[in-house]
Amino acid sequence: MKFLKKSIPYSVKNWLKLKKFKQLHSAVYIGPGVQIDPNTTRMGKHCGINDYSRVSHSTIGDYTYASRNNNIMNSTIGSYCSFGPGCQMGLGSHPAHFVSTSPIFYSSFGQLNNETWVDKEYYDHFEGVTIRDNVWLGANVIVLDGVTIGEGAIAAAGSIVTKDVPPYAIVGGVPAKVLKYRFDEETIERLVSLNLFSKGEEWLKKHLTGAVTPADLFNDVAVENKESEKLYG
């Protein structure tokens, strides 16, 4: 059986994996050359995974897209996120406090052509990445293990995100630092409290489509609340 598995060309194996994934996620766009592990990946509706991207051990919400050449592992990603080309996240780490950073000395995973010198794990390679709803990552952003990026945040192209990012912050640089906030503190608190992106599609279409500012949104919500009070007392 092992010989049979090894004899199957990689392209055929990947085709079979994608076929299985598409059966489970028919409303997801999968571009050419994409690799997705169907056994460890869950994805919401109308997502787009573009050319030559890789996804495994991850959960992705609705209407999130990854441009070409993304590498997404060990990540929990919200809805309505936008990732530019070349983004990398959840790829694992090596122990800087050990004498050697080579996994041959501390890992039984067999990364080096299945060669292992130990019979158990001495280091936790992967700490998950969390990316909340409505996040935009520019091109070639790297998100290190254990990082949480808050709702509505933006990471500038080429950033290496090593620490948690607050909601609606704009970060950039190596390592990434907060450059500014998209809105004032009170506005951000109100936006987060609304749990916008957990609301239904019809609500979002009604209130967020078009050139909608926070002031527009808050006004719409206030009007809607007044109408509800009149109807239901």
Catalytic residue among 25, 46, 57, 97: 97
Residue 177 to residue 173: CA distance in whole angstroms: 6
Instruction: Determine which helix (DSSP H) or strand (DSSP E) holds 18, and give its type and residue range.
Output: helix 10-24
Question: For residue 210, which amino acid is it?
Answer: G
Going by C-beta distance under 8 Å and a sequence separation of 6 or more, which residues neighbour residue 41? 21, 55, 56, 57, 58, 59, 60
For the question of residue 57 being annotated catalytic, the response is no
Does the global pTM surpass 0.95? no
Residue 166 to residue 179: CA distance in whole angstroms: 12
Strand ordering across the sheet containing 177-181? 29-30, 48-49, 65-66, 82-83, 136-137, 154-155, 169-172, 177-181
What's the chain's average pLDDT?
A: 91
- Condensed to tens digits (0 to 9), the pLDDT of residues 104-133 reads 999 988 888 889 899 999 988 889 999 999
User: Using DSSP, how many helices (H) and how many strands (E) does the chain show?
Assistant: 5, 19
pLDDT of residue 1 exceeding 80: no
